Amino acid sequence: MTKRREGGIINNGEMPERTLTDLQFRYETHVHTCQASRCGVSTGAEQAEFYHSLGYQGIILTDHFFGGNTAVPRDLSWEDRVKRFCSGYEDALQAGKRLGLDVFFGWEQNYQGDEFLVYGLSPEYLASHPQVETWTRAEQLRYVHEAGGCVVQAHPFRDRDYIPKITLCDLFADGIEAANFFNHPDWDARAYHFGLKNHLPMTAGTDNHRAAGFVEKGETPFATAFSQPLKGIEDFVQAILTNAPMELCVTEDRLNPVIPPAREVYRLRQDETRERIFAPGEPWVTPSR
Ligand SMILES: [Zn+2]
Ligand SMILES: [Zn+2]
């Protein structure tokens, strides 16, 4: 077994007092379906079956929303677009009911390569709020809060061609996705230490587009785990908003050591100007532990 669950450290950089084995309710916080994401390969039902087979307590569907790589045509009515968008989730939900897996709804919105996981709003909310599509980052945070949800920046230090500038948007989110299975481990280590230093709630997710790939390779996806099962997505939102202890279930040593970035890293300020905070190769200051 080359993978094990790494201890989660959330609000203050301390290890939770409980032991890792106590935190046994695992959730996938970042998963796509082919019904709603253009890059998705597995159906919602296939994803549900996959995570159920691994003993997860639940999954949160986060298909690419309309600013990202959506599979939903733009020339339909808003109602039909939302219906199509939610069809992967609905498929997973039906399978989850049959299997005994909790299935929650969310989405992943894209701005300029910086992406956000939105949790806690419902398909009904989307259907009645077409303005969601045109929200700025600040509006997104404000209106998601007003509706009882939360916003987590996905893979903030990801360094890929489709991302014009690595932009940390922690001021426009409630937390960050510190570990993302398909990231390079260095990117996750940077995110994790940035999160520790700034006392940000942190999650781990897989960004899983294809359940079969994991089955074939025998790999273990990431998870965020809790000591008690979540009664609903609102419990997850509360955990993020209160910076409650969560275990990041990731590959051993995933979040260390921190290698300086090869590209500039910017932080988006409140006025939306980008401020460079890390130059390429600059020594990385590891927060004291
Ligand atoms: Zn994708
Ligand atoms: Zn994603």
Q: HEC profile for 207-248?
A: CECCHHHHHHHCCCCCEEEECCCCCCHHHHHHHHHCCCCCEE
pLDDT for the residue 23: 58
For the chain, give percent helix, strand, coil, nearest 5: 30, 20, 45
pLDDT for the residue 15: 52
1-10, 226-235, 270-279: least confidently modelled range: 1-10
Whether 264 and 195 have beta carbons less than 8 Å apart is answered as no
* 60-89 average pLDDT score: 97
- Is the pLDDT higher at 7 or at 85? 85
Ligand 2 mean position to 154 CA, how many Å? 7
Ligand 1 mean position to 105 CA, how many Å? 16
pLDDT for the residue 104: 98
Ordered structural domains, the chain, with CATH: 21-256 (3.20.20.140)
Confidence band (pLDDT; 50, 70, 90) for 22? low
pLDDT for the residue 37: 98
Ligand 2 mean position to 196 CA, how many Å? 23
Which ligand lies nearest the alpha carbon of 180?
2
8-17, 20-29, 101-110, 264-273: least confidently modelled range: 8-17
- Is the pLDDT higher at 239 or at 5? 239
DSSP classification of residue 286: P
Ligand 2 mean position to 128 CA, how many Å? 24
Helix (H, G, I), strand (E, B) or coil at 191: helix
Ligand 1 mean position to 25 CA, how many Å? 26
Ligand 1 mean position to 36 CA, how many Å? 10
Distance in angstroms (rounded) separating the CA atoms of residues 93 and 97? 6
pLDDT for the residue 6: 44
Ligand 1 mean position to 68 CA, how many Å? 8
User: b/e for 266-275, b at 16 or more Cβ within 10 A?
Assistant: bbbeeeeebe
Distance in angstroms (rounded) separating the CA atoms of residues 253 and 137? 33
Ligand 1 mean position to 31 CA, how many Å? 9
Ligand 1 mean position to 113 CA, how many Å? 12
Per-residue pLDDT for 184 more than 80?
yes
Q: In the predicted model, what is the mean pLDDT of the chain?
A: 90
Helix (H, G, I), strand (E, B) or coil at 168: strand
pLDDT for the residue 12: 41
Ligand 1 mean position to 163 CA, how many Å? 13
Which ligand lies nearest the alpha carbon of 69?
1
Ligand 2 mean position to 2 CA, how many Å? 25
Distance in angstroms (rounded) separating the CA atoms of residues 233 and 246? 15
Confidence band (pLDDT; 50, 70, 90) for 4? very low
85-94, 117-126, 206-215, 280-289: least confidently modelled range: 280-289
Q: Are strands 274-278 and 265-268 parallel, antiparallel or unpaired?
A: antiparallel
Per-residue pLDDT for 88 more than 80?
yes
Confidence band (pLDDT; 50, 70, 90) for 157? very high
Which ligand lies nearest the alpha carbon of 207?
2
Per-residue pLDDT for 2 more than 60?
no
Which ligand lies nearest the alpha carbon of 38?
1
Distance in angstroms (rounded) separating the CA atoms of residues 94 and 262? 44
pLDDT for the residue 18: 47
Alpha helices in the chain (DSSP H): 44-53, 78-99, 123-128, 137-146, 185-197, 211-217, 233-241
Per-residue pLDDT for 3 more than 70?
no
Which ligand lies nearest the alpha carbon of 40?
1
Which ligand lies nearest the alpha carbon of 205?
2
Distance in angstroms (rounded) separating the CA atoms of residues 20 and 91? 32
Per-residue pLDDT for 67 more than 90?
yes
Please report, in angstroms and rounded to a whole number, the separation of the first and last CA atoms in the chain.
29
Distance in angstroms (rounded) separating the CA atoms of residues 158 and 115? 10
- Sheet with strand 274-278: strands edge to edge: 166-168, 265-268, 274-278
pLDDT for the residue 281: 84
Ligand 2 mean position to 206 CA, how many Å? 8
